[in-house]
Amino acid sequence: MSLFPGTAAEIAIEGGEPLPPGRKIEGRSPWQLAYERLRKDRTAKIAFATIVVIVLLALLAPIIAALVGHGPNQQFINTGESASGGPIGPNSTFWFGTDENGRDLFIRTLYGARVSLVVGVLATMISMALGVVFGLTAGYLGGAVDTLIARMIDVMLSIPFLVLAISAAYIWHPSFWLVIFIVGVLSFTYPARIVRGQVISIKEKEFIESARALGAGPLRIMFIDLLPNVMAQVIVYGTLLIPAAIVAEASLSFLGVGIPPPTADWGQMISDASGYYQYGSWWYLFFPSVALLITTLAFNILGDSVRDAFDPRGGGLYV
């Protein structure tokens, strides 16, 4: 028995477990391991399939609208409104009923998915990019830079998200891109702290030292050497940021400072419906709410599974 066993196979054999014929021990990266675990997770598969369906419906919305023959903002004054001008319930022409403007809620719910998904994904990309840059900088450079960034985050966190977001929407007028920008920028603090923590724990390792000895500059070390090692964490929290961003966007639209009308948006639709459900128009409230709930639930379940796959030992999700 050598002091330094050369291959993994040797170790396994010494461990006593004979390998079944035809099977080799292969090295697996954490990514491969996580992917394997994720593939075996039934709930994750269902959540993922749900997300695929939602994305497809969002992509196909214009085609479905053309097939049904109702545009998202088209008003059906004669067929889509009750005698008193209120919304009408689901029927064979309007599957999800109509709103108070005689617009087809089925088509609008489909179009709402486009807004939610685009805002959710783009805002998450902004916050992840900012989080990576600030987290890497604070963690790697440390000292005064770290303190400065930490205090900046403290200031941002000192104002509740919605208060800050609606103030921003007050200063600059609400628009689609402003919502993405606000949601993205205001949620970078979370990934930033994760990345910072990770960087601090690995920046003293030998491979970073050797990179420095080879003459690599801080930028190279941060983005070429450190970044790939924190990427798994960033992805995990990224999948959990998407549903949060979708809810944030819907909340802003619900409060009237999100996506401006007449764009079909779930938060806006739910807010508009609030004036009608007491008169029995349940469909107006029901369909956009269920669509929003299914979407955030699917993303949260998938994010939860992705986190479990990368860190099977982990405790609570929101620690």
CB of 300 to another protein, least distance (A): 4
Torsion sign across C-alpha atoms 44, 50, 54, 56 = positive
**79/167 with CB nearer another protein:** 167
**Which residues on adjacent β-strands are paired with residue 62?**
none
**76/161 with CB nearer another protein:** 161
CB of 47 to another protein, least distance (A): 11
For another protein, the binding residue among 91, 151, 175, 209 (CB under 8 A) is 151
Query: Is residue 112 a contact residue for another protein (CB under 8 A)?
Result: no
- Rounded Cα distance between 111 and 297, Å, is 19
Query: Is residue 243 a contact residue for another protein (CB under 8 A)?
Result: yes
Backbone torsion region of residue 124, taken as left when φ is above 0, otherwise alpha when ψ lies between -120 and 50, otherwise beta: alpha
Query: Is residue 257 a contact residue for another protein (CB under 8 A)?
Result: yes
Enumerate the H helices of the chain as residue ranges. 8-14, 30-39, 42-68, 105-141, 143-158, 161-171, 176-186, 189-202, 206-213, 218-220, 227-254, 266-273, 282-310
- Rounded Cα distance between 257 and 173, Å, is 8
Query: Is residue 215 a contact residue for another protein (CB under 8 A)?
Result: no
Query: Is residue 130 a contact residue for another protein (CB under 8 A)?
Result: no
| Residue listed under structure tokens 């403007």 | 101
Interface map 163-192 toward another protein (x if CB under 8 A)? xx-xx-xxx---------------------
Burial (Cβ within 10 Å: 0-12, 13-18, ≥19) of residue 282: middle
Interface map 267-296 toward another protein (x if CB under 8 A)? x--xx-xx--xx---x--x---x--xx--x
User: 250, 200 in Cβ contact below 8 A?
Assistant: no
Window contacting another protein (CB under 8 A); options: 59-67, 96-104, 137-145, 149-157: 149-157
**224/297 with CB nearer another protein:** 297
CB of 112 to another protein, least distance (A): 13
Angle (CA) 290 127 140, round 5°:
145
Q: Which residues bind another protein (CB under 8 A)?
A: 151, 154-155, 157-164, 166-167, 169-171, 243, 247, 250-251, 254-257, 267, 270-271, 273-274, 277-278, 282, 285, 289, 292-293, 296-297, 299-301, 304, 314-319
